[in-house]
Amino acid sequence: MRILSALVVLLALATLPFWVSGYILGVLTIAYFFGVFAMSWDLLFGFAGEVNFGPTFLIGLGAYSAGLLDNHGVPVWLCVIAGAVAAVFGGLILAVPALRLRGPYFGLITLVAVLVLQQVIVIFAGVTGGEIGLTINDVLSLDPGYNYWLALGFLLISGIVLTLFSRSAAGLILQASGQDPIEAQVLGFNVVKHKLAAFAISALFSGLAGAMLVFYLGTASVDTVVDISVGVQIIIAAVLGGRRTIFGAVIGALFLIIAGEILRPLGQLSTFVVSAVALGVILFFPDGLVGYLLRRGERA
Amino acid sequence: MKTLLEVAGLTKRFGGLVAVKDLGFAIRGGEILGLIGPNGSGKSTAMKLIMGIERANAGSVRLAGEEIVSWPTHRIARAGIGLVFQHSRPLHRQTVWENIKLALLPDSLLRLVAGRAVDEHARLIGERVGLGAVLDRHPATLPFADLRRMELAKAIARDPKVVLVDEPFAGLTLGEVENFSALIRSFREEGKAVLLVDHNVKSVAALVDRVLAMYLGERIAEGPAEVVMRDPTVRRVYLGGAIGTHARDIAPEKTGVPLLHVSDLSVLYGKAQALEQVSLEVHEGEFVSVVGLNGAGKTTLFNAISGLVPYRGRINWEGTPLAGRTPGAIARGGIVQCPETRELFGAMSVAENLDLGGQHQKPTERAERLAWLLDLFPILKARRAQMARTLSGGEQQMLAIARALMMNPRLLILDEPTLGLAPVILEQISKALEVLRQATPITVLLGEQNVTFALPHADRVYVLEHARIIWQGPASRFAEEAGAGYL
Amino acid sequence: MLALQILVDGFAISTLYALGAIGFSLIFGVSGVLNLSHGGIMVAAAVAAWFIAGPLGAGQYLGALGGVSIGVVVALVTYGVVVRPIQRSRAIPRDETEIFVLTGTLLWGIMIQEAIAYFFSDSPITVRPLIGGVVDIAGVRTPANEILTAVICWISIGLLWLLVNRTAVGKRLLAASINPRGLTLLGFELSSVYLMVWVIYGVLAAIAGVLLATFLGTSSNNIGVLTASAFSIVVLGGLGSVSGSLIAAYIIGYLETATAYLLTPTLRTIPSLLLLVLVVYVRPQGLLGRR
């Protein structure tokens, strides 16, 4: 039943370019990339139990690597792959020592990572374009409809892969590692190994999405892809939608981006309103929208 | 059968505290060894050391001849040791089936599908432990005993050579105990070596082949169950010595409204019934002892009275119910608890700890009280400026009692004050309690497993076992009626 | 003399950092909360001071007082509306409370930032120095206000020390940070202790914010940086150690000042960031950390 309704929604979304304006397609395209960011975060938090306060570290690595390589004439598809690889690499360098730390320290390191990346980009402004940003000459496509389908397809594939992983045997081990690492070890699982794998997967998708986003926007800057508040929005999207649902993160992302656009006429208050709503959700519906609905089903 | 687990010279220190000292034993396949000891004896730490959850400071642990003492936990698990924790640890978001399946999985990053065989195997194990009907349910919906069954199922799934089980029967009804014993016996039949850790010899006596008794981290006796139970060192340490009657003036039966009246008190910790329909009363000026082993429910009872845990039933203080009052208000109202864990402010000095206790008194009364208490416990006077956490166990206990007394309580609740203390300290505390009784109109509610300490001052005794009061009466009758079956 | 200049300026900046960081550390030590809206409280106090002093025309002294009061109010609202409901919520599992508090305070900080920007714009504001004039310290011309800033901070820190170590009320705070259960057993209501610590925190953060406005000026855009530097200092000094925060504040303050003078002001946050990374990897509990 749920699958049927999902397919219907999917079909509707896929046909949007035929009857909706380029502007709306643009907003949704961004929302879809954001959805991948949020799903990757949820994999790490919801399943491995680790809070990444700086998802934009991974995204930024992917985006800038892809952008820089493109400016050196590397073909687009290779740049995207390189971006993903760079993010995985950076993620593992971050995670190996970070996973040894308990409690708030892990979160702090992830936050510090973003700050460091920001500074590095600013210092080497000659290469990276500093605070102004990097301009990329190639884009994925000039047609908003084509970009839209690319983003939707990417979201779909990522969603399916991440969901399948979370439901797989490996995903089960990961959940155990996150929920009760001592019991997981007693059952014979090397918790650190599995959490590193989760980190790598999260980094892969974040980096991939970051790289693709860069070719959609045609630019990369510290404010868009290596920003702490963007990172916070990703976390909010995942929590709003519902932790540990993967799919919920997409709903949360859609809500945030669309709400942000709708409220744009409010000017500066738009961020305020969205943050206020998010705070309200955290206080009153900590399980998030999708999480709340799913839990009701579980208890029955 | 050959020796599967061999422990020698195992030692573990936590800062200044030696939790396990030079422990050694061996278990053969097809044998069940009971590791017995009260709280603080080191038995749970020993178990964690074997499993690699804590790192030993010294010693060796050999599994089927191979040295594993410095291995990480997951490697030890894969080598063939299984552990069943005292408190169930289910994955709440997964079904029973998935929980058992997990235990059957290899430690692989790439495994996407568990496979039909694994599913089927998990189902069989579930049925073997009696969970066949609830395989698709989530742990939150299961009763306590089923959660324990699931823990055993996970252990069975791992198919270890050695099984460590912590407090196998805590919280189970007699019928369930029978059921679980059968499952544990089946481990023995399969040729596994089993280590049962428990605080109570009686409950595991029927199941074990041998018993090793521990106290303060060291082994004090080993042998068949009946022999160890009768060992004089074991009896002294667990019971505090011979249970004798003490000639004392029998106080007339107190009538009138009791100072503290507990009726039909029941407490649930998650699924476990910690207290069931417990009723007791304490009259002003009385000294009432609640006797019971670890896990019987004494601490839960006291925490309910102090307002620290939710409960069903009624607790009346001076005739009015305590329900709805904050724990701070209850303490200010005259019920002061000195808990088993003491809850001292380790980084503050003795004087500061005592001073905090006296904050609700007027400054002159506070000063008087402080002077009186420092006379009662001269060692605290000597160590006034020392940091509380640098004191010895006995000194910390005295500080905790003195601090509670600073509050000028009408009812002093003492929870296991003698736990882990040397006999000479017990003497001092006992004397102090005696002075207290004679000099002040204080009412005392004492919870103890050390019967020899609990009896001399008591007017009346309640015996708490497995969450229920099973005997009550004057102290003089305790030895004849209840004392015999005590260990 | 450049070295002397660095010494003097560094001292003032470090002391200001110290005041803010000590408050941040106090809240963590007693209440267990990493308040990511810390910068918001500071700037709210600063902007309130500016508004009362300037546009409302009440002058800088009343402005400062008003600013501190507003800061305390914002701190209490943070506790009552964001932190406490999350800590008490039964819908959030125990082990996730910390994360929710972090996210909640982060969101609240963003809300404060946007509200300030909306009502007062995000252009930098300053408050007129509390005392004017310039003082000559061994050849270094220093604004008298800068010296006053350092003095006020030190007095505040000193008063806090006296409070915690010498008064009955302060001992309770200390006890609550060591063992809250023990305090309850002694008949104290933890809720009053927590309320008190948030008020003290509010005062410290607000004073730091107002002084910042008189010394260097600030704006709503500064909020994130202020929170980040407070928690860098606290991590370096050790989570939960107030004296650690004090020492770390001077280390970071001097590192920044030296870098700004010797290299260039734009790079001034780099050495402290590198130090932070080093500490987090090599000794995550910080210099004097407890856990």
Q: How far is C33 from chain B (nearest CA, A)?
A: 21
What residue ranges in B259-418 does DSSP mark as E strands? 260-269, 272-282, 287-291, 312-317, 320-321, 335-338, 411-415
For C11-22, b where at least 16 C-beta lie within 10 A, e where not — what string?
bbbbbbbbbbbb
Q: Which residues of B touch C29 (CB under 8 A)?
A: none
* CB spacing of B359 vs C186 below 8 angstroms: yes
At B158 the pLDDT is 94
Domains B3-239 and B260-486 share a fold: yes
Nearest to A173 among B51, B105, B140 (CB): B105
Residues in chain A: 300
- Residue B266 CA, chain-centre distance (Å), reads 19
**Interface mutation vs chain B, best among C169, C186, C193, most B CBs within 10 Å:** C186
Q: Which residues of C touch A121 (CB under 8 A)?
A: none
> Touching check for A292 and chain B: CB below 8 Å?
no
DSSP secondary structure string, C192-260?
HHHHHHHHHHHHHHHHHHHHHHHHT-B-GGGHHHHHHHHHHHHHHH-TT-HHHHHHHHHHHHHHHHHHH
Amino acid at B42: G
Burial (CB count <10 Å: 0-12, 13-18, 19+), residue A260: middle
| Mean per-residue pLDDT, A174-181 | 89
* CB spacing of C115 vs A272 below 8 angstroms: yes
Most confident of B343-352, C24-33, C266-275: B343-352
Return the CATH number of B260-486, one of 3.90.650.10, 2.102.10.10, 3.40.50.300, 3.30.110.30.
Answer: 3.40.50.300
Nearest to A187 among B93, B103, B141 (CB): B103
Quick one: which of A84, A78, A138, A91 has its CA closest to A117?
Answer: A91
> Touching check for A33 and chain C: CB below 8 Å?
no
Domain C2-282 CATH assignment equals 1.10.3470: yes
Query: Cα(A91)–Cα(A61) distance, rounded to whole angstroms?
Result: 9
pLDDT tens digits, residue range A12-22? 888 888 888 88
Q: Which residues of B touch A244 (CB under 8 A)?
A: 93
* CB spacing of A282 vs C103 below 8 angstroms: yes
Query: Cα(A41)–Cα(A51) distance, rounded to whole angstroms?
Result: 8
Q: How far is C111 from chain A (nearest CA, A)?
A: 5
Cβ neighbours around B367 below 10 Å, total: 12
Q: How far is C61 from chain A (nearest CA, A)?
A: 31
Query: Cα(B102)–Cα(B128) distance, rounded to whole angstroms?
Result: 17
At C57 the pLDDT is 84
Q: Which residues of A touch B140 (CB under 8 A)?
A: 299
pLDDT tens digits, residue range C206-259? 999 999 988 888 888 888 888 888 888 988 888 778 889 999 999 999 988 888
At B229 the pLDDT is 83
* CB spacing of B53 vs A164 below 8 angstroms: no
What is the enclosing helix (H) or strand (E) of B210?
A: strand B210-215
- pLDDT tens digit at each of 487 positions of chain B: 789 999 999 999 987 778 899 999 999 999 999 998 877 788 889 999 999 999 999 999 999 999 999 999 999 999 999 999 988 899 988 999 999 999 999 998 887 787 889 999 999 999 999 999 999 999 988 888 899 999 999 999 999 999 999 988 877 777 888 889 999 999 999 999 999 998 777 778 889 999 999 988 999 999 998 898 888 888 777 665 544 444 445 455 566 788 999 999 999 887 778 899 999 999 988 899 999 877 778 999 999 999 999 999 999 999 899 998 999 999 999 999 999 889 999 989 999 999 999 999 899 999 999 999 998 888 899 999 999 988 888 889 999 999 999 999 999 999 988 876 777 778 888 888 888 888 888 899 999 887 878 888 888 999 988 788 988 988 888 877 766 555 4
* CB spacing of A186 vs B113 below 8 angstroms: no
- Answer whether residue A295 shows pLDDT above 80: no
Query: Cα(A271)–Cα(C115) distance, rounded to whole angstroms?
Result: 9
At C291 the pLDDT is 45
Instruction: Count Cα atoms within 13 angstroms, Cβ side, for A154.
Output: 30
The complex's ipTM?
Answer: 0.83
At B245 the pLDDT is 43
Q: Which residues of C touch A104 (CB under 8 A)?
A: 34, 98, 102, 239
Cβ neighbours around C243 below 10 Å, total: 14
Mean pLDDT of chain A: 86
The CA-CA-CA angle for residues A66, A67, A72, to 5°, reads 95
Residue B318 has phi, psi (to 5 degrees) of: 55, 40
Quick one: which of B285, B289, B313 has its CA closest to B439?
Answer: B285
Nearest to B348 among C175, C185, C190 (CB): C175
Distance, first Cα to last Cα, chain A: 17
Residue labelled with tokens 């196998």: B168
Query: Cα(A223)–Cα(A134) distance, rounded to whole angstroms?
Result: 11
At A298 the pLDDT is 55
Residue B363 Cα distances to A155, B261, B405, B406, angstroms: 70, 33, 15, 12
Nearest to C178 among B329, B332, B345 (CB): B345
- Answer whether residue A40 shows pLDDT above 90: yes
* CB spacing of B74 vs A190 below 8 angstroms: yes
Q: How far is B76 from chain A (nearest CA, A)?
A: 8
Return the CATH number of B3-239, one of 3.90.550.10, 3.40.50.300, 3.40.30.10, 3.10.20.30.
Answer: 3.40.50.300
Q: Which two tokens stand for residue B286?
A: 């009385």
At A120 the pLDDT is 86
Q: Which residues of C touch B345 (CB under 8 A)?
A: 174-175, 178-179, 182
- Answer whether residue A91 shows pLDDT above 60: yes
Which residue from C minimizes the CA distance to A103? Answer: C98
At C122 the pLDDT is 83
> Touching check for C151 and chain B: CB below 8 Å?
no
* CB spacing of A268 vs C114 below 8 angstroms: yes
> Touching check for B356 and chain C: CB below 8 Å?
yes
- Answer whether residue A292 shows pLDDT above 80: no
Which residue from C minimizes the CA distance to B352? Answer: C171
Q: Which residues of C touch B328 (CB under 8 A)?
A: 184, 187-190
pLDDT tens digits, residue range C33-76? 889 899 999 999 999 999 998 888 888 888 899 999 999 999 99
Q: What is the DSSP letter of C122?
A: S
At B243 the pLDDT is 47
> Touching check for A160 and chain B: CB below 8 Å?
no
- Answer whether residue C102 shows pLDDT above 70: yes
pLDDT tens digits, residue range A221-237? 888 888 877 888 898 88
Domain extents in chain B? 3-239, 260-486
* CB spacing of B336 vs C181 below 8 angstroms: no
* CB spacing of B72 vs A190 below 8 angstroms: yes
Quick one: which of A58, A42, A44 has its CA closest to A241?
Answer: A42
Residue B237 has phi, psi (to 5 degrees) of: -75, -35
At A210 the pLDDT is 93
Query: Cα(C121)–Cα(C136) distance, rounded to whole angstroms?
Result: 36
Most confident of A208-217, C86-95, C262-271: A208-217
At B114 the pLDDT is 79
pLDDT band (50, 70, 90) for residue A297: low
* CB spacing of C107 vs A269 below 8 angstroms: no
* CB spacing of C104 vs A53 below 8 angstroms: no
3-state helix, strand, coil in chain B (%, to 5): 40, 25, 35
Q: Which residues of B touch A190 (CB under 8 A)?
A: 72, 74, 107
Which residue from A minimizes the CA distance to B98? Answer: A172
Cβ–Cβ under 8 Å, residues A27 and A261:
yes
At B118 the pLDDT is 92
Residue labelled with tokens 């199922």: B153
Cβ–Cβ under 8 Å, residues C45 and C67:
yes
At B482 the pLDDT is 66
- Answer whether residue A37 shows pLDDT above 90: yes
Residue labelled with tokens 């030692």: B11
- Residue B102 CA, chain-centre distance (Å), reads 30
User: Which chains are within 8 Å of C by 3+ CB pairs?
Assistant: A, B
**Interface mutation vs chain C, best among B89, B326, B356, B360, most C CBs within 10 Å:** B356
- Residue C149 CA, chain-centre distance (Å), reads 14
Most confident of A264-278, B393-407, C85-99: B393-407
- Answer whether residue A131 shows pLDDT above 80: no
**Interface mutation vs chain B, best among C185, C194, C288, most B CBs within 10 Å:** C185
Query: Cα(B274)–Cα(C100) distance, rounded to whole angstroms?
Result: 31
> Touching check for C165 and chain B: CB below 8 Å?
no
Mean pLDDT of chain C: 88
Residue labelled with tokens 């790079």: C267
DSSP secondary structure string, C138-155?
TTEEEEHHHHHHHHHHHH
Q: Which two tokens stand for residue B73?
A: 């936990």
- B312-317 β-sheet, strand order: B272-282, B260-269, B312-317, B320-321
DSSP, collapsed to helix, strand or coil, labels residue B132 as helix
Q: Which residues of A touch C107 (CB under 8 A)?
A: 232, 236, 275, 278-279, 282
At A11 the pLDDT is 85
- Residue A94 CA, chain-centre distance (Å), reads 17
Q: Which two tokens stand for residue C156?
A: 């505040």
- What's the whole-model pTM score? 0.83
